[in-house]
Amino acid sequence: MLPVFLMNFLFAISTTVGMTFIPLLVTDNLGMSLLVLGLIEGGSELASNILRLITGNVFDRARNRRLLFVTPALLALISKVILSFPNPWTIITAKVTERIANGAFAAPRDAYVGENSKNKGTALGFLSSAKTFGCVLGPVIVSGSTLLIGPLQENIMTIIFLACFINFIGFIISFFVSTTKRITINLGTGFNLGELKETCKNLRFLFVLSLLFFFGRFNDGVIMLCLKKNGFPEWFYLATISFFNFVMLLISPLMGYQIDKKREYQILFITILALLVFNIFFLQLESFGWISACLGIVCWGIQRAGAQITFSSMIFRRTPVKFYGTAIGIYSLLTGIGFFISSTISGYLAQTSFNLAFIFSGVFAFLALILALYMYYNDKSQIVDL
C-alpha cells in the first residue's frame, strides 16, 4: 500500500500549494463574489464526488486497477499546469480538473486501503495522516514564501511550478501501485445488484447522516476570507489550511485506533460536535479574536479528521468487500451534494454576513447530532465479517 500512501501525501502537497491562493485570487484579482467562490468550490467538489461513484463502481468490477491510479495522477498534474495561465476561465477549469482528479483517485484509494488492511480504522487513520501531512506542508510553503521571497502576487508562477514538480513525482509513483491483494478476502459470487440494494438499505441512516453533516461543511476558503475581513495578518489566514491539517495529522491515527476498538459512535459524536463548536467559536470572532480563531480552527481540524475516517470505517464494517468501492462512491456523491449546497448558500450568506454562514452550518451540525444519537440507540444494522 506504500505507493498509494505516497501518492496521497504528494498530491496533498501539490494541491494545497497550487490551490491555496485561489480564494484570494478569485475575490481580489478577478473581482468575483463570495457566491461565485462558493459555486466554484461546491460545484467542483460535486463533480469530484459524482466521479467517485463511477470510479468506485469500476474498482469493484475491474481486474487490473492500476489505470484507476495513473489517470487521476495525470489529471492532477494537468490541473496545476492550467493555473500557469490565470484568468477566470482557466482558474475555474483548473479547479474543476483538480477536483475531478481527486474524485477519480479518492474512491479507489479508500477501497484499496480497506480491501488490503485488517484494521481498517487504523489504516484509514494513517492514510488521512499522510494526506494531512501534505496539506500541512503545502500552505506552509505558500505562507512561508510571503515571508521569504516577497508578496504572494509576485511569486505565483514559482509556486505553481513547484506544485507541478511535486505532482509529477506522484504521477511516476502511480505506475508502481500493486494490483495484487495482500490479504485473502472472500468476495462471494461477485457483483450483484440485488445484494447492493440490500447493502444500501442497511446503510440508509448513515447515508442520510453524511448528507446532513456536509450540509454544514462549507469550503475552507470562507474561513480564510472571514479571517482576512476581521483583520488577521496575511501569514495567518494563508496558513489556516496548514493549521487545521496539523490538527488532523495529530488526531487521525488516534481516531482510527479508537474506531478499531469498537468506539466508532464516540468518534462520530466528537466529529459532529467539533463542527457545531467551530461555528460557535467563529460567531464570537469579533469579541474574542485570536482565542476564537485558534480554537475554531482546532475544531475544524477535528471534524475534518473524523469525517475522513469515521464515515468510511462505518461503511466498510457494514458492507461486503465486493461493494467497497461502490458504497464509498454513493457516500461521496451524497456528501458532494451536501457540500455543493452548503458552499453555495454559505457563499451567498457570507456576502451579507459571515455570521449567517456560521449559523446555517451550526443548524445542520445540530440536526446531524440528533440523527447520530438516534442511530446509536437504534442501530440494528449487521456488521459484515470478512
Per-residue pLDDT tens for 166-225?
899 999 999 998 775 543 344 444 556 677 788 788 888 999 999 899 988 887 778 888
- What is the per-residue pLDDT across 124-134, written as a single tens digit (0 to 9) for each? 888 888 887 88
Q: Which of 303, 299, 302, 293 is nearest to 278 (CA)?
A: 299
Q: pTM to 2 decimals?
A: 0.74
pLDDT band at 36 (very low <50, low <70, confident <90, very high): low
**Contact (Cβ atoms closer than 8 angstroms) between residue 350 and residue 284:** no
Helix (H, G, I), strand (E, B) or coil at 261: coil
CATH of the domain at 35: 1.20.1250.20
Is 265 contained in some domain? Answer: yes
What is the distance between the alpha carbons of residues 340 and 327, in angstroms, rounded to a whole number? Answer: 20
The number of domains in the chain is 1
Length of the chain: 386
> What residues make up the domain containing 173?
2-180+191-378
Is 383 contained in some domain? Answer: no
**Contact (Cβ atoms closer than 8 angstroms) between residue 108 and residue 69:** yes
* Residue 87: burial class (beta carbons within 10 Å; 0-12, 13-18, 19+): exposed
DSSP at 149: T
Is 75 contained in some domain? Answer: yes
What is the distance between the alpha carbons of residues 42 and 26, in angstroms, rounded to a whole number? Answer: 14
Is 103 contained in some domain? Answer: yes
Is 385 contained in some domain? Answer: no
Question: Positive or negative, the Cα torsion across 375, 378, 382, 384?
Answer: positive
The pLDDT value recorded for residue 282 is 92
Is 336 contained in some domain? Answer: yes
Is 217 contained in some domain? Answer: yes
Is 242 contained in some domain? Answer: yes
What is the distance between the alpha carbons of residues 383 and 386, in angstroms, rounded to a whole number? Answer: 10
